[in-house]
Chains A and B, each alone.
Chain A
Amino acid sequence: MIYRRKFVRSIVRRFAALCDLEINDGLINDLERTLKVAIVHHDIGKLSREYQSGEWYRHEIIGAHVVYNALSDYLTDEPYKDLLCALISAAVYLHHEAIQIAHKWFKLRSPIFEYLNSKIGPLSFTFEDVALQAFEAINEFSGLDIRWRLPKTIGGKEIVRTVSNIISLVDGMPRVNAARLCLASAVLLISEVDNRAAERGRM
């Protein structure tokens, strides 16, 4: 309830302003479902073998890829589907940006993308059986009917392609400020959830 009152309303309002849409129950419902997917799967990259073994820490880029593909399958064919998938996946991609800025890891920011892609392109990420089962269990527990299955291996090039799509859609928007506001609201929500989860994990 708190997250609905505090975050979803403003995200809906900003998304509607961005796309010139009327706010109705269908739009609110779609955004709630989308945000739910992003919230439960934003850290899915942490389940990869490479993250677990400490070879790769930037789990958010894997999370963005997974959320984008899951959402593309999950959402109905509304005219705003592509843009909504891209915006929410971009929020997953950026949910650790505040930490990067705080630590002055500016190399990881813009032109972060170029740098990251040259690093991630030749890699691949593997999910063990237990991770695949966890993905399904999270979906079931959260009541998400996602048909898209987490693959055993995700290639770096696939991730690059997904992030390309996300960036082209979000960055090419003519209403730049409206897009930024909407993205920032979504990032705030995911960061908040991430922080709370981290606090609980430390307890």
Chain B
Amino acid sequence: MYQYKIPSVGNLLADALCSLGLFKLMLMVDPLIKVECNLGHYEMLRVKSRKEPQAFEKEILRNLNNLVKSEFVRQHLWFRVNTGRDLKPAFEVLSDLLREMNCFSLSAFEPIAKEERKGPMGLKTFYLSVLPVYGKGLEEYDGVMAGKSARAKPEVIVSYMIGLAYYTICLEEDGSRLHIALIPPLSKRVDGRYLLTINRAIALYFTEEGRRYISGLKALPRLTLPLAVLAKLDLAIIELLHELYPPEILVFDVERAGRKAAETSRLYERYNTAAILRFFLSLGEWMHHAKEYVSSLISVRGYREVQDTELPGLIDSILLRLTLAIINSDADMLNGALFETLRLRDRVKEDLLKYVNRIRMPDSKTTSAMVKSSLVR
């Protein structure tokens, strides 16, 4: 067995997506790799494989070249990247990078630098439309954006972009592109099984039904995103993630319209999922009904017909109450949220009633289980 140690690239977002992207690439070459991922550690990824280094790297590059031509990558890296000279789709930026690569070196992983364009040889620009928070994690923040850019070895950028395609849910909101990623918790050592579970969780959003569900997440109050994202996962994933370590949800946006590309204009938030996972699991046999209730709220707020009506706002307020009730173990607030859901029929206009009726109200047993579960700390 050969051991490969991949060091951190000095930025949590990039570390998370590079690790996940690289894991994907390595797994394609050798399905029997043993992996340990530890975000926040100097060595973010440790991999043991039967493949010797040269053959391993060669196979990774071959698989990358196949992946980049796939419809999946083209669909998920559709957004345009501002390269400073022109606007190119992200998959083309990835193809350009690959075209220049003769080999894929696993020893190329090193911290992302902030350099002038004529900086050290072999570094490529990590465009702001791809990695939006590049200033964070660097020792010095230059305050202005002019001149210097984030620069990294092509291997780092390529792995990050594969992670971005395969491990994030992308929402397009007014002028901004929001990405949601489920990542392993900081400074906890997780294995390949954990990364496969995350892969499975995100893959649920790549189905036709998943894509419809994503449209309901648009412009959702961000505090409620963990509840909305986890409500769609099946019990197997929830059980396994809770048993190992609750993952974190990273939310970051890119290309916010009307703002300059400065650090402070960018959204970059991390949410813990422990409280929500615990809530769902303590529901026992009623979990399915509670998840149906939450996901039906999300689905209804995503219907094109209800946009520009009072319904999405009312649902947002219910979801906010639900989330706060779960996070703060507040049974009164949970009761309030359930009561508000019942009252929706009285509060909307008649033509919206058919949509309100699609919300799957929990029955009395599920309701009492939810209230009981909200008291579990």
Q: Which residues of A contact B (CB under 8 A)?
A: 18-21, 79-80, 82-83, 111, 113-115, 117-119, 121-122, 157, 160-161, 163-165, 167-169, 171-175
Contacts and interface: CB of A to CB of B under 8 A. Distances in A.
Given A121-B235, A175-B28, A175-B31, A168 B285 contact: no
Contacts of A122: 284-285
A174 B24 contact: yes
B50 A114 contact: no
Contacts of B50: 79
Main secondary structure of the interface of A (DSSP, over half): helix
A169 B196 contact: yes
24 contacts: A19-B31, A20-B29, A79-B32, A79-B50, A83-B31, A114-B235, A115-B288, A117-B239, A117-B288, A118-B235, A118-B286, A118-B288, A118-B289, A121-B235, A121-B285, A160-B239, A161-B239, A164-B239, A165-B240, A168-B236, A168-B240, A171-B203, A173-B31, A174-B31
A169 B191 CA distance: 12
B140 interface: no
B314 interface: no
A175 B200 CA distance: 14
Contacts of A161: 239-240, 243
Contacts of B30: 20
A20 B29 CA distance: 8
A114 B239 contact: no
Contacts of A157: 239
Q: Which of A117, A161, A164, A175: most chain B CB closer than 10 A?
A: A164
Given A118-B286, A172-B196, 6 more contacts: A79-B50, A117-B234, A168-B196, A168-B236, A172-B195, A174-B24
Top 5 A-B residue pairs of the complex, sorted by shortest distance between their CB atoms: A172-B196, A164-B236, A118-B288, A79-B32, A164-B240
B27 interface: yes
B200 A168 contact: yes
Contacts of B17: none
A118 B285 CA distance: 5
